[in-house]
Amino acid sequence: MKIGLFIPCYVNQLYPNAAIATLELLQKLGAEVVYPARQTCCGQPMANSGYEHLTQSCNDLFVENFSGFDYIVAPSASCVLHVKDHLHTHTNEKAATEIRGKIYELVEFLTDILKIEKLDAHFPHKVGIHQSCHGLRGLHLAQMSELVAPAFSKPRQLLKMVNGLELTEIERADECCGFGGLFCIAEEAVSVKMGKDRIADHTKNGAEYITSPDLSCLMHMEGILHRNKSNVKIIHIAEILNSSPIKA
Amino acid sequence: MAAVKKNQPPLTILPDISIFQVHEVDIVKKYSDVFTGIGGLLVSAGSLANVKDQIRLNFDQNKRIFTTIPSLSDVAELCDPQADPHSLFDVELAIVEARLAVAENGAVWVTEDVMGHRILPYIAQHLAVLVYEDRIVSTMHDAYSKIGSEDYGFGGFIGGPSKTADIEQALVLGAHGPLSMTVYLIN
Amino acid sequence: MKNTLDHAALAEEFNKDEDRVDWHDGALWWIRQKRDRAANQTPQWEELREAASAIKANVISNLHDYLIQFEENLKKNGVKVYWAADAEEHNQIVYSILKDKDIKQMVKSKSMLTEECHLNEYLEERGIEVINSDLGEYIQQIDNEPPSHIVLPCIHKRKEEIGELFHDHLGTEKGLSDPTLLTRVARKHLNNVFLTRRAALTGVNFAVAETGEYVVCTNEGNADMGAHLSDVQIASMGLEKIIPERKHLGVFLRLLARSAIGQPITIYSSHYKKPRPGQEMHLILVDKGRSDLLARPDFRDSLKCIKCGACMNTCPVYRKSGGLSYHNTISGPIGAILAPNLDMKQHADLPFASTLCGSCSNVCPVKIPIHDQLYKWRQEIVRLGYSANRKTFSMKAMALTLSSPEIYNTAGKTGRWLLNNAPFAINNKFNPWYKQRDMPDSSQQSFGEWYAKNGSKTK
């Protein structure tokens, strides 16, 4: 199968290791992965600010880059959700519709399409899962705490396959971290408070690492962690899943 | 109104709500557990004679005790429908009979014909309600099924003693309505 | 209640006292947990939500005929009916009813609608005293502050603060802050109010078209205490409070208190149908923007709202900024989607006071897609020009950058270069991110650059 690798703008610029991990992981699992070099962004920052009408040329570029793949995979729940919900173009709606049907966030791609049951990975640390809102309520990567419905969690399912990893729990399973796109700037006080509280929930339960399918959340929490000189680190889930196996 | 007619969207159909059914194995127990769980006092009196004993035991006979139930007239004053509702300001205990009771939430349903005065179950310092066990239904859907299209002037579900948690979410029993509610179960 | 500050500024102010924020946040989260417990104990909970949503959808699609039917039945029941297009008309009607009977004092139970209409001020200006009988609303009234939460009006106040207010207004001893004792004092004071007021006004939780009756839900019993002792009973309701048949009350009464506070039912769910002999009943149907909202396909579902407040309890932004930061009678997520319809200029900031996390939509008993509507309001607000010019400018710049790979790559490279070599250009007080967070570590190369060098080597 041929996968088009979509690397969100800020991941590309600021967290290339997560992108590299995604690429390597997909290749390990047997896929042919292509990275269209002319990609930029999904357009979400503009759309969420009320400027969806300005995203046309961004959408056109996306369609141009990502037509013709069996699947498109990205290490970012919020970007994938945005494309699924909002990718439309006047120039080639048929292609846009196809893309919306074929785009997956990394975790759901591994559980739902590749259906992997084991991983050769080793990450001997205490890890807390931050279930990003877009991943959770948008892509249904896990069950939402508000609903009366059976529990499940795709990230947890994958992390359990990693040797040596100990999952730590938190009290408020799916409270938002406060990033919210431009919210993190426009409502700085509340945003940071939400981030601090989210981190506290993890640290008081013993997490050494906080992981998520969304680096936007992690970037926001990392900013707070570093400012407060915390030992707790953030890491994108791709890097954990792609970690080297134990040497025999 | 013309604006409403013009602006409303195309008609959608009503859902079938008969699908909501809860069958309780022991409906009296369910009712009792729920009612006491929310701060209500429950006595399995069984008979009216026991109810009278309970009232004599637990409530000050020197204060005004009112009822709309004729067979309780030896422990309580019968409510005079002609009286001014304001005259009930010092009623210590009001005793009424429930038309039905709902197990899922512990509430009783009373209509003005069993209240005597509409104000009676709200103004009394304490409320006591007689609930016949065979009048307990499972859910609100069952309750409204029983109520049907009855034409009352006023009716109310009452689910326990009045309460508030407006001050720092601290639960206080006894806001503006009765300070306590006792249900006497009769079979 | 005009204000010149927006949500972000008010929220920043609220966050200066972190202890208070933690306390406020914790109190409301606890209520959210109670709601979860109640929901999980109710069989077919999700189907119940779906049914409630469908019933309200039917109401919205047939509102005109239901209102006609309701009015006919009200009249048959002996209730006087009035129609008010806006707040001014509503207030005038209430005033004329009272003036007609030479009534100078009224007791009022909870009605968000009358708060929106600023009824109390209107009547006070014309020499009529109004007392809010709900304990939380009473406390807010004596403090001259609007309610911060539609169900828990003074959830933002500490008991010591309430004790102070009672000391000033009711003569309790200084320092008294025990909730039970304070409540007993209020009970005594308001009992006297109920006994002496000839007029009582209530809100309406649900109005049944089929029978002409309306239901008022309280825990305190204050609506009934006021109404059954009054000579003149007035009810104010928004057009959208209609439900088709009496049996539908089963669905809504099962959802309301559980969603609001995790209780299976409010203590009192009173069905008012006909006046007492010798009493007058009046009901005012109020539009105030509802028929406008009906015309908007993207937003009309917000008319389904049954005012339970569950969205406020779950919203992390609400919990950590307080209801008063929303500068609107109805705050929180539902407030943010109702307010722009009423006054877009004043409330353009509200749909942006959210991270679009979606928790609100999941707890809404009538399944209003609140977070979707917040997104759509943002588009609407920008389209109609209520967005700051410099924001539009920077958005256009972003659109240009992101539609051109060349500009994008250059911008990314420049940003990283600045972070590495001239951090002071970015890490300064003009950068809101930098106030309480460090900037992300910048790598030497982007993934794009790495792939260009190494991509073909991986397989």
In a domain, A76, yes or no: yes
**pLDDT tens column, C346-383:** 899 999 999 999 999 999 999 999 999 999 998 898 88
Note whether A71 and A102 are within 8 A (CB). Answer: yes
Q: What is the mean pLDDT of residues A138-144?
A: 95
Q: Does B117 touch chain C (CB under 8 A)?
A: yes
C-alpha–C-alpha distance, residues A6 and B144, integer Å = 56
List, in order, residues 6 or more apart from B176 with CB less than 8 Å away. B122, B162, C133, C187, C190, C191, C194, C220, C221, C222, C225
C-alpha–C-alpha distance, residues A67 and C250, integer Å = 52
Does B6 contact C295 at a Cβ distance shorter than 8 Å?
Answer: yes
Structural domain spans, chain B: 25-186
In a domain, C297, yes or no: no
- State residue C261 phi and psi, 5-degree precision: -140, 10
Is the pLDDT reported for residue C69 higher than 90? yes
* Residues in chain C within 8 Å Cβ distance of A12: 412, 446-448
In a domain, C298, yes or no: no
Indicate if A132 and A236 belong to the same structural domain.
yes
Residue of C nearest to A147 (CA): C362
In a domain, A247, yes or no: no
Record the tokens describing residue C142, joined without a space: 């004596």
Indicate if A235 and A131 belong to the same structural domain.
yes
C-alpha–C-alpha distance, residues A178 and A194, integer Å = 5
Those chains having 3 or more beta-carbon pairs within 8 angstroms of chain C are A, B
Q: In a 10 Å sphere around its CB, with 0-12 CB exposed, 13-18 middle and 19+ buried, how is residue A166 labelled?
A: middle
**pLDDT tens column, C302-341:** 999 999 999 999 999 999 999 999 999 999 999 999 999 9
The most distant pair of C-alpha atoms in chain A lies apart, rounded to whole Å, by 55
Closest CA to C279 of B117, B96, B113: B117
For residue C363, the distance in angstroms to the closest alpha carbon of chain A comes to 6
Position with higher pLDDT, A45 vs C45 = C45
pLDDT for the residue numbered A248: 55
SS (H, E, C) chain B: CHHHHHHCCCCCCCCCHHHCCCCCCCHHHHHHHHHHHCCCEEEEEECHHHHHHHHHHHCCCCCEEEECCHHHCCCCEECCCCCCHHHHCCEEEEEEECCEEECCCCCEEEEHHHHCCCCHHHHCCEEEEEEEHHHEECCHHHHHHHHCCCCCCEEEEECCCCEECCCCCCCEECCCCCCEEEEEEEC
Question: Quick one: how far is CA C78 from the chain centroid?
Answer: 33
Indicate if C73 and C125 belong to the same structural domain.
yes
Residue C141 lies in domain: 52-288
Record the tokens describing residue C125, joined without a space: 């200006």
Q: Does B17 touch chain C (CB under 8 A)?
A: yes
Domain boundary among C288, C314, C348: C288
Amino acid at A182: L
Indicate if C406 and C376 belong to the same structural domain.
no
Whether domain B25-186 has CATH 3.10.580.10: the reply is no
Q: Which of B86, B149, B172 sits opposite C180 (nearest CB)?
A: B172
Does A51 contact C357 at a Cβ distance shorter than 8 Å?
Answer: no
Torsion sign over Cα B132, B135, B138, B144? negative
Among B17, B111, B158, B176, the residue to mutate for chain C (most C Cβ within 10 A): B176
Record the tokens describing residue C194, joined without a space: 């109920």
B window 25-84, beta carbon within 8 A of C: 34, 38
C-alpha–C-alpha distance, residues C271 and C249, integer Å = 10
* Residues in chain B within 8 Å Cβ distance of C46: none
Burial B68-97 (b: 16+ CB within 10 A, else e): bbeebeebbeebeeeeebeebbebebbbbb
Residue of C nearest to A10 (CA): C412
Q: In a 10 Å sphere around its CB, with 0-12 CB exposed, 13-18 middle and 19+ buried, how is residue C297 labelled?
A: exposed
Domain boundary among A90, A113, A136: A113
Indicate if C262 and C337 belong to the same structural domain.
no
C-alpha–C-alpha distance, residues A64 and A59, integer Å = 9
C-alpha–C-alpha distance, residues C169 and C161, integer Å = 12
In a domain, C234, yes or no: yes
Does A194 contact C435 at a Cβ distance shorter than 8 Å?
Answer: no
Note whether C282 and C97 are within 8 A (CB). Answer: yes
For residue C420, the distance in angstroms to the closest alpha carbon of chain A comes to 12
Indicate if C142 and C243 belong to the same structural domain.
yes
Indicate if C344 and C372 belong to the same structural domain.
yes
pLDDT for the residue numbered A26: 94
Residue of C nearest to B145 (CA): C247
Indicate if C250 and C315 belong to the same structural domain.
no
C-alpha–C-alpha distance, residues C273 and C215, integer Å = 9
Note whether C448 and A12 are within 8 A (CB). Answer: yes
Q: Which of A46, A148, A193 sits opposite C46 (nearest CB)?
A: A148
pLDDT for the residue numbered C459: 53
Record the tokens describing residue B140, joined without a space: 């609100």
* Residues in chain A within 8 Å Cβ distance of C320: 190, 193-194, 197
Q: What is the mean pLDDT of residues C199-208?
A: 98
Record the tokens describing residue A69, joined without a space: 């793949």
Does C355 contact A133 at a Cβ distance shorter than 8 Å?
Answer: yes
Note whether A95 and A63 are within 8 A (CB). Answer: yes
Lowest mean pLDDT among A39-48, A121-130, A132-141, B161-170: A39-48
Could you tell me whether strands C268-272 and C214-218 are parallel, antiparallel, or unpaired per DSSP bridges?
Answer: antiparallel
Closest CA to C309 of C330, C292, C328: C330
Q: Does A91 touch chain C (CB under 8 A)?
A: no
Q: Does A151 touch chain C (CB under 8 A)?
A: no
Does B12 contact C57 at a Cβ distance shorter than 8 Å?
Answer: yes
Indicate if C382 and C398 belong to the same structural domain.
no
Indicate if A102 and A130 belong to the same structural domain.
no
Distance linking the first and last C-alpha atoms of chain C: 65
Residue A42 lies in domain: 2-113
Closest CA to A138 of A160, A94, A107: A107
Number of domains in chain A: 2
Q: How many residues does chain B have?
A: 187
Indicate if A77 and A140 belong to the same structural domain.
no
Residues of chain B with pLDDT under 50: none
**pLDDT tens column, C3-19:** 467 999 999 999 999 99
Lowest mean pLDDT among A24-33, A48-57, A147-156, C53-62: A48-57
Q: Which of A16, A40, A174 sits opposite C405 (nearest CB)?
A: A40
pLDDT for the residue numbered C1: 37
**pLDDT tens column, C20-34:** 999 999 999 999 999
pLDDT for the residue numbered C2: 40
Indicate if A189 and A210 belong to the same structural domain.
yes
Note whether C109 and C216 are within 8 A (CB). Answer: yes
Closest CA to B10 of A226, C297, C268, A65: C297
Helices (H), C320-456: 332-342, 344-347, 359-363, 370-383, 389-402, 405-421, 447-454
Count CA atoms closer than 13 A to B83's CA, side-chain side.
15
Those chains having 3 or more beta-carbon pairs within 8 angstroms of chain A are C
In a domain, A121, yes or no: no
A246 pLDDT tier (thresholds 50, 70, 90): confident
List, in order, residues 6 or more apart from C228 with CB less than 8 Å away. B85, B117, B118, B119, B122, B123, C276
Distance linking the first and last C-alpha atoms of chain B: 52
Indicate if C127 and C89 belong to the same structural domain.
yes
Indicate if C233 and C341 belong to the same structural domain.
no
For residue B183, the distance in angstroms to the closest alpha carbon of chain C comes to 14
Could you tell me whether strands A209-212 and A126-129 are parallel, antiparallel, or unpaired per DSSP bridges?
Answer: parallel
* Residues in chain C within 8 Å Cβ distance of A49: 352, 378, 382, 391, 395
Does C355 contact A23 at a Cβ distance shorter than 8 Å?
Answer: no
List, in order, residues 6 or more apart from C180 with CB less than 8 Å away. B170, B172
C442 pLDDT tier (thresholds 50, 70, 90): confident
Closest CA to C413 of C379, C390, C447: C447
Number of Cβ atoms within 10 Å of the Cβ of A216:
24
Count CA atoms closer than 13 A to C113's CA, side-chain side.
30
Which residues partner with B173 through β-bridges?
B163
Is the pLDDT reported for residue C187 higher than 80? yes
Indicate if C221 and C83 belong to the same structural domain.
yes
Does A61 contact C403 at a Cβ distance shorter than 8 Å?
Answer: yes
DSSP assignment of C131-192 equals EE-SHHHHHHHHTT---SSSSSTTTTS-HHHHHHHHHHHH-PPTT---HHHHHHHHHHHHHH
Residues of chain A with pLDDT > 70: what percent? 99
Q: What is the mean pLDDT of residues A42-51?
A: 78
Position with higher pLDDT, C387 vs B97 = B97
Note whether B110 and B158 are within 8 A (CB). Answer: yes
* Residues in chain C within 8 Å Cβ distance of A64: none
Q: Does B143 touch chain C (CB under 8 A)?
A: yes
Does B151 contact C273 at a Cβ distance shorter than 8 Å?
Answer: yes
Q: Which of B10, B14, B22 sits opposite C54 (nearest CB)?
A: B14
pLDDT for the residue numbered C3: 47
Indicate if C239 and C218 belong to the same structural domain.
yes
Q: What pTM does this model have? A: 0.93
pLDDT for the residue numbered A48: 79
**pLDDT tens column, C224-262:** 999 999 999 999 999 999 999 999 999 999 999 999 999
In a domain, C140, yes or no: yes
Q: Do chain C and B touch: 3 or more Cβ pairs under 8 angstroms?
A: yes
C-alpha–C-alpha distance, residues B95 and B131, integer Å = 11
Indicate if A31 and A75 belong to the same structural domain.
yes
C-alpha–C-alpha distance, residues C381 and C345, integer Å = 9
Q: Does A184 touch chain C (CB under 8 A)?
A: yes
In a domain, C252, yes or no: yes
Q: Does A147 touch chain C (CB under 8 A)?
A: yes
In a domain, A23, yes or no: yes
Q: Computed over its alpha carbons, how large is the radius of gyration of chain A?
A: 18
A233 pLDDT tier (thresholds 50, 70, 90): very high
Residue of C nearest to B144 (CA): C247
Please tell me what DSSP assigns to residue C329.
S
Number of domains in chain C: 3
Indicate if C220 and C316 belong to the same structural domain.
no
Indicate if A78 and A43 belong to the same structural domain.
yes
**pLDDT tens column, C266-298:** 999 999 999 999 999 999 999 999 999 999 999
Question: What is residue C271's three-state secondary structure?
Answer: strand
C-alpha–C-alpha distance, residues A54 and A43, integer Å = 9
Is the pLDDT reported for residue C421 higher than 80? no
Cα separation values, C3 from A8, A56, A212, C324, C325, Å: 40, 37, 40, 11, 10
Burial C375-403 (b: 16+ CB within 10 A, else e): bbbbbbbbeeebbeeeebeebeebbebbb
In a domain, C46, yes or no: no
List, in order, residues 6 or more apart from C406 with CB less than 8 Å away. none
Closest CA to C110 of C130, C91, C137, C84: C137
For residue C358, the distance in angstroms to the closest alpha carbon of chain A comes to 6
